[in-house]
Amino acid sequence: CETIGMDKIQFQNSGAEANEAMIKLARKYGNEKKGPGKNVILTAYNSFHGRTLATLSATGQPGSAIHKGFEPLVEGFRYAEFNNLKSFEDAVTDDVVAIMVEPVQGEGGVYPATREFLQGLRKLCDDKKLLLLLDEVQTGWGRTGAVMSYMNYDIKPDAVTMAKAMGGGMPIAAMCATNEAMQSLSAGSHGTTFGGNPVCCAASYAAVSEIIDKNLSENAKEMGAYFSDKLRKLPHVSEVRGMGLLVGLVLDGDFAAEVKHDAFDRKLLMSVVKPNVIRMVPPLIVTKEEIDMACEIIGSILSEL
Ligand SMILES: Cc1ncc(COP(=O)(O)O)c(C=O)c1O
């Protein structure tokens, strides 16, 4: 908590569960501190917050496979445009208690928040006495060139979730919050059997210590810039966006899946987030030589298209 400027931590087992905890915290804060009915959470279009019922309802992708067939969605969420401060300002009505966003929309196509947007949301939350909730399940612990992504923006949320990198492969997640925000989750109001189990906590302690002691955030920043520059020079690449080692490769056609399968055959893993967008999240310890190898593979696939 100290490293990231938070006061309290609640351990969970997955990113979605950590987001559930954060949603519950905000609702309780709203219902009890702000008054009955003040419990709506604003999230962004194109976001991704998980696949439990509350987190898929928080996910701003109406009509997508994430929502379809799972109706009725959980009420209490409204969506506004990512990177559009005015859209969020307009959506803040009397019943809103919190704003929840990812600093970089990963699943949604790798879109980093602009500095004006995230700082603007912080100010909006301060002015309207709302909680700013950040989902750093994907961006947390070194991935974007800072320990937590919000450190790149010189802001602090009221609560933040984390998973993936914090476990180094083991199933662990957490929500951290300020004392003020965490107070609403009073004893007995939230919990889980395996949350904070000793095995995953030991693994997480080791993973997080490596990230901090070896300054892997800095490696993510340097290698991310190196990787992105090299990718920009490859054929069929129309844009490379992202932050640190969370890299979105935008192609000039809808052949991301084809590229992914060819890369898999050559033992290079990547994921498709849009028909024309590939997301790559190399290990935080990746070297220049390994990036060169990856670019050679991607380059040869793209030039054969
Ligand atoms: C931003 C974000 N939030 C939440 C989740 C859900 O995490 P989990 O799959 O651990 O439940 C993910 C998973 O990719 C994610 O990227």
Any domain includes 1: no
Establish if 2 belongs to a structural domain: no
Last residue of a domain, one of 193, 213, 233: 213
User: Which residue's alpha carbon is nearest to atom 16 within ligand 1?
Assistant: 138
- Do 88 and 101 lie in one domain? The reply is yes
The CATH number assigned to the domain holding 88 equals: 3.40.640.10
Which numbered atom of ligand 1 lies nearest the CA of 14? 10
Of the pLDDT bands very low, low, confident and very high (cuts 50, 70, 90), residue 2 is confident
Q: Is residue 74 part of a domain?
A: yes
**Residue 167 beta carbon below 6 angstroms from any ligand 1 atom:** no
* Domain shared by 44 and 173, yes or no: yes
Is residue 3 situated within a structural domain? Answer: no
Per-residue pLDDT tens over the stretch 170-196:
999 999 999 999 999 988 999 999 999
Residues 30 and 167 placed together within one structural domain of the fold: yes
Q: What is the pLDDT of residues 70-124, one digit of tens each?
A: 999 999 999 999 999 999 999 999 999 999 999 999 999 999 999 999 999 999 9
Q: What band does 206 get if pLDDT is binned at 50, 70 and 90?
A: very high
CA distance 255 to 237: 11
Mean pLDDT of 38-54: 98
Residues 209 and 222 grouped into a single domain: no
| Dist. CA 177 → ligand 1 center (Å) | 18
State the distance from the centre of ligand 1 to the C-alpha of 200, rounded, in angstroms: 18
Protein residue with its CA nearest to atom 8 in ligand 1? 15
Final residue belonging to a domain, choices 213, 232, 247: 213
The tally of domains found in the chain comes to 2
Q: What is the pLDDT of residue 214?
A: 97
- Residue 239, pLDDT > 90, answer yes
Residue 12: domain span: 8-213
What is the spatial distance between Cα 238 and Cα 121, in angstroms, rounded to a whole number?
Answer: 30
Same domain, residue pair 172 and 117: yes
Domain of residue 258, CATH code: 3.90.1150.10
Q: Which of 213, 240, 263 finishes a domain?
A: 213
Exactly one of 11, 48, 88, 255 is catalytic; name it.
48
Mutational test site, ligand 1, from 48, 148, 273, max ligand atoms within 8 Å of CB: 48
Q: Give yes or no: residues 245 and 202 share one domain.
A: no
Active-site annotation holds for 164: yes
Catalytic residue among 164, 221, 227, 262: 164
Which pLDDT band holds residue 299 (cuts at 50, 70, 90)?
A: very high
Q: Ligand 1 centre from 49 Cα, in Å?
A: 6
Residues 273 and 288 in one domain: yes
